[in-house]
Structure 1
Amino acid sequence: MAGRYQTIAEDLRQLIAAGNWRAGEKLPPETELASLYRASLPTLRGALDLLQAEGLVEKFQGRGNFVRRPGDRTVYDSARHTSDRPPTPGSALRVSVEVRRVKASGDVATLLQVRAGSLLTEQEYVSIAGASVRSVARLYVPLKVAKLGRPEGALSPWGDNVRELLTAAGVHVASTVERVTSRLPSAEEREVFRSPAPVLAVERTSMDVTGQVVEGAFLFLPGDRAEAVFTTRKRVEELEQAG
């Protein structure tokens, strides 16, 4: 049997579909909705959380709940790594970066295949559209590989600027492996993304021609505002050999 919050969510879902509130329009205050449905605030918020996870509603701290605009998603595209398609920043995104020196913790050390405590450069990229955080990317490069400074010019939300810095330092990426998982958000991620929706987590490692890991990255995207696209290409000579 459906819970009370699910019943409220279904009614709100139908009202949105019927056009009672248009895309981008603010819903009535939570206290007003709770009174309308004769429900407690926690129950009403449970219904709104469900609609947030479905991508129908977006909550902005201090402003309220709004009907999400359709197609309002950030695309993580693997094809940006190909040599004939240089990385470009998201046109609708504002991207900021923080650069610092850190010591490799357990999970980062494992990703980079270095000893725990090894010195690294960490670059953290945060992308925002409107008042909504769309992605957080943390990239790591061992100091023994290259000593990187702050990137210049337009910033990529995925931290692809690190590739340019590595190339300038004489380090060339030969291959990249990306592992994508979906999981429930941590308390910190739920607060940052202002959403209870599952998180798309991308674990990325890049190697040079010798197989040495020269870059590692952890990317986090709210699942109700993002999608991942992966493109596979074959070299022309491989296609010719295949007949």
Structure 2
Amino acid sequence: MAGRYQTIAEDLRQLIAAGNWRAGEQLPAETELASLYRASRPTLRSALDLLQAEGLVEKFHGRGNFVRRPDDRTVYDSARHTSDRPPALRVKLEIRQAKASAALASLLQIHAGALLTEHEYVSLAGTSVRSVARLYVPHKVAMLDCPEGPLSPWGDNVRDLLTAVGVHVASSAERITSRLPSAEERELFRSPAPVLAVERTSMDTTGQVVEAALLLLPGDRAEVLFTTHTHVESRGKPDDL
């Protein structure tokens, strides 16, 4: 038997589908909805959380709940290695000096405690966080400055900086997992939906890891695109007999 919050969520789902609230429009206040359905605030919020996880509703702190636009998604393209950014996104960058944790040391194939530079890119659409990319470069590989020009939400500027100092990336490996968000990630993305976690390592021509990236995207507002380029050799026509 469906729980009370699921029944409320289904009713709201049908009302949205019927056009009672259009994409981008605000839902009634939670107190009003709770009174309408004769439900407690926690039950009503559980229903709204379910709709957020489905990508139907988006909650903005201090403003309320809104019907999410169906095409409002951020696309991570695995073939993207430029400093271009999606036009609707605003990107913030913070640069820190840090010491490698055990997990980062394993990823970068360096000793724990080794010095590295962290570049943190946070992309936003309005006030909604759409991605967080943290990139790490060991000091023994390069000491990088602040990038110039437009910022990429995926941290591609770091690769440009590496190229500028003579470190060339020859290959990259990416591992993508889907998992439930931590309490901090749930608050950051304002959604209980699963997150997409991308772990990317980049190697030079000798196989040395020169960069590691940890990317986070909210699963209800993001998708990942993989592009494969295949080399096809041209063949001439056989000689006429």
Give me the TM-score of the superposition, normalised by structure 1. 0.95
Alignment equivalent of 2:130, drawn from 134, 141, 160? 134
Please, which of 162, 167, 176 is the counterpart of residue 166 of structure 1? 162
Does structure 1 residue 66 correspond to structure 2 residue 66?
Answer: yes
d(CA) in 2 for partners of 1:203, 1:42: 35
CA root-mean-square deviation: 1.0
- Number of paired residues? 235
Report if the CA contact (8 A) 2:83-2:150 is conserved: no
Match of 1:18 in 2: 18
User: What residue is the counterpart of 1:55 in the other structure?
Assistant: 55
Offset at residue 27 of structure 1 (A): 0.2
What residue is the counterpart of 2:239 in the other structure? none
Deviations 1:30-54 (A, max 9, x none): 0000010000000000000000000
For 2:2 and 2:110, locate their aligned partners in 1 and report how far apart those are by CA, in whole Å.
50
For residues 68-83 of structure 1, what are the structure 2 equivalents within 5 Å?
68-81=68-81
CA deviation after TM superposition for structure 1 residue 3, in Å: 0.6
Structure-2 residue corresponding to 1:115: 111
Residue aligned with 1:150, SS:
coil
Within a 5 Å distance, the mapping from 1:207-226 to structure 2 comes to 207-226=203-222
Q: 2:97 aligns with which of 77, 97, 101?
A: 101
SS at match of 2:79: helix
Say which SS state the counterpart of residue 38 (structure 1) adopts: coil
Give the structure 2 partner of residue 35 of structure 1.
Answer: 35
1:4-25 per-residue CA deviation (whole Å, 9 max, x = no partner) reads 1000000000000000000000
AA aligned to 1:19 is G
Match of 2:148 in 1: 152
Q: Does the aligned pair in 1 maintain the 2:83–2:151 contact within 8 Å?
A: no
TM-superposed CA distance for 1:236, in Å, is 4.2
Identity level (%): 79
Cα deviation code 1:112-155 (max 9, x no counterpart): 01111000010000000011000000000000000001111100
Q: Residue 189 of structure 2 aligns with which residue?
A: 193
Q: Which runs of 5+ in 1 are unaligned?
A: none
- How far, CA to CA, are the matches of 1:144 and 1:206 in structure 2? 15
TM-score by length of 2: 0.96
What does residue 84 of structure 2 align with? 88
Deviation at 1:89, TM superposition (A): 1.1
Gaps of 5+ in 2: 236-241
| 1:186-232 alpha-carbon deviations (Å, 9 max, x no partner) | 01100100000000000000000100000001000000000000111
| Match for residue 229 of structure 1 among 222, 225, 231 | 225
Q: For the residues of structure 2 that align with 1:235 and 1:170, how far apart are their CA atoms? A: 27
